[in-house]
Amino acid sequence: MPNYDFDLLVIGAGSGGVRAARTAAGRGVKVAIIEDRYWGGTCVNVGCVPKKLYSYASHFAEDFKDAAGYGWTVSEPEFDWATLRDNQRNEILRLNGVYNRLLEGSGVQRIEGRGVVISAHEVQVGEQIYSAERLLIATGSWPYIPDFPGSELCLSSNEVFNLPEFPKRFLVYGGGYIATEFASIFKGLGAETTQVYRGDKILRGFDEEVRGFVQEEMQQHGVNFFLGREILRIDKHLNALAVTLSDGRTLEVDAVLCATGRRGNVENLGLENVGIKPNSLGEISIDANFCTQVPSIYALGDVTGGPQLTPVALAEAMTLVHNLYSEEENRVMDYSNIATAVFCHPNIGTVGVSEEEARKVYKNIRVYTTCFKPMRNTLSGNPSRCLMKLVVDAASDKVVGCHVVGPDAGELVQGIGIAVKAGLTKADFDATIGIHPTSAEELVTLRSVTRT
């Protein structure tokens, strides 16, 4: 039996890597974890956590305005970017410390530096070589910026949280959920905001009705959309950026965020040394047990090309550790009916299939929808509306999709996610007494079929 330094050596201290390391160590496994940049990974440092904090911040301007209809007199509010930026930064530093203490408290050895795989059982960090019975690659993903003249002038989501100055004219390039969230956030913070996307509608892959509704609501709130266009070049003019679009138009802005997708974070990882070849998106191929083509090397999380969601990486880590270090029957990850949220304005919460997907999968469906102004907006005069939608398989009566657009949609859909995962029927929803007066009660009072 070879004498390895560790039983498990994890490369990448993001959500999945940290959870795998801690859980394995809790089972008595000798574990070390390697990280060269972000302890806590993208989510904690430049993803979910700071983005949600900025999303909270961007709602206050509208809240102050709405307060007048409820009798509150509020002086003209002022926003200070430096306060938000620095408070956010301090919170991230606090969370970094929490992650480090959790790892050390679990008995996991922390190794700082870039880990390079040099064999099926060895990783080099600087001049030091570490060996392990098993290696786990959990290096996550990295923002992708397409190559065009001036693309080096673009920001990625890694830098956007800590800008020295607030960009009063802000352009977002991309149409996915990250691009759409940041367009909403910077508009809410007071920037003149433009979103440029090559498609004819943002949020590709989401329910079509949801896509159209969100785009209309964002336009109503002042986000400027240039759809069906691409950026040809960016030129720096004094303190501004001149962005030339494919229709010949030039926009002058203070900052450009390029949110055009992410790629697996595999650069300089040494995978070629063991014959692992990621695809064109930097994604590593794995089997149902998270094993790569090299029997001693495993991978999980964003780097494998699955759903790029923190809870998915956490669940994968728990499944992997159970299967490797438990004598119980192996578990298999179930990727169906994963509830997700998009923190644009308005928020999106969704679980299950879209109406379009349902029509491909089920012979007959029933669709129930409602669109209304939430009670909170009645006295304020706020024109924003909510959309709620249930997609039902007509044969089984099961609710196979739920889509909500409106305030705190993610909070609402988390509970509905349990119902959809459990396979509850529309009759079960109908038999549930609503909580009144709430927006959420609409989901258990929908009686009229919108379309079949």
CA distances from 407 to 63, 184, 217, 311 (A): 12, 13, 12, 22
Mean pLDDT across the chain? 97
Of the candidates 51, 445, 94, the one whose C-alpha atom is nearest the C-alpha of residue 257 is 51
Percent of the chain past pLDDT 70, that is, above it, reads: 100
pLDDT by residue (tens digit) across 401-412? 999 999 999 999
Q: How would CATH label the architecture of 340-444? A: 2-Layer Sandwich (3.30)
pTM of this structure: 0.96
- Under 8 Å between Cβ of 144 and 262: yes
Q: How far apart are CA 194 and CA 231, in angstroms?
A: 13
pLDDT by residue (tens digit) across 95-154? 999 999 999 999 999 999 999 999 999 999 999 999 999 999 999 999 999 999 999 999
pLDDT by residue (tens digit) across 379-437? 999 999 999 999 999 999 999 999 999 999 999 999 999 999 999 999 999 999 999 99
Question: Can you give 315-373 as a three-state secondary structure string?
Answer: HHHHHHHHHHHCCCCCCCCCCCCCCEEECCCCCEEEEECCHHHHHHHCCCEEEEEEEEC
3-state secondary structure of 62: helix
3-state secondary structure of 310: helix
6-142+263-325, superfamily in CATH? Answer: FAD/NAD(P)-binding domain (3.50.50.60)
Q: Indicate left, alpha or beta for 267 from its phi (over 0: left) and psi (-120 to 50: alpha).
A: beta
pLDDT at 338 over 90: yes
Of the candidates 162, 164, 226, 165, the one whose C-alpha atom is nearest the C-alpha of residue 193 is 226
Of the candidates 51, 36, 39, 31, the one whose C-alpha atom is nearest the C-alpha of residue 15 is 39
Q: How confident is the model at residue 283 (pLDDT cuts 50, 70, 90)?
A: very high
Angle between helices 48-67 and 81-105 (to 10 degrees): 140
Question: Which whole number is the average pLDDT over 35-63?
Answer: 96
> Selecting from 3.40.1010.20, 3.40.50.970, 3.30.460.80, 3.50.50.60, what CATH number does the domain 151-260 have?
3.50.50.60
Spell out the residues 6+ positions from residue 133 whose beta carbon is closer than 8 angstroms to its own: 2, 4, 6, 7, 8, 121, 296
The two counts, helices (H) then strands (E), for the chain are 11, 21
Question: Which whole number is the average pLDDT over 50-73?
Answer: 97
User: What pLDDT, on a 0 to 100 scale, did the predictor assign at position 74?
Assistant: 87
Name the E strands within 198-249: 224-227, 231-237, 240-245
User: What pLDDT, on a 0 to 100 scale, did the predictor assign at position 1?
Assistant: 61
Domain regions of the chain by residue span: 6-142+263-325, 151-260, 340-444
Catalytic amino acids? 436
CA distances from 120 to 25, 26, 130, 136 (A): 21, 25, 11, 11
User: What pLDDT, on a 0 to 100 scale, did the predictor assign at position 2?
Assistant: 84
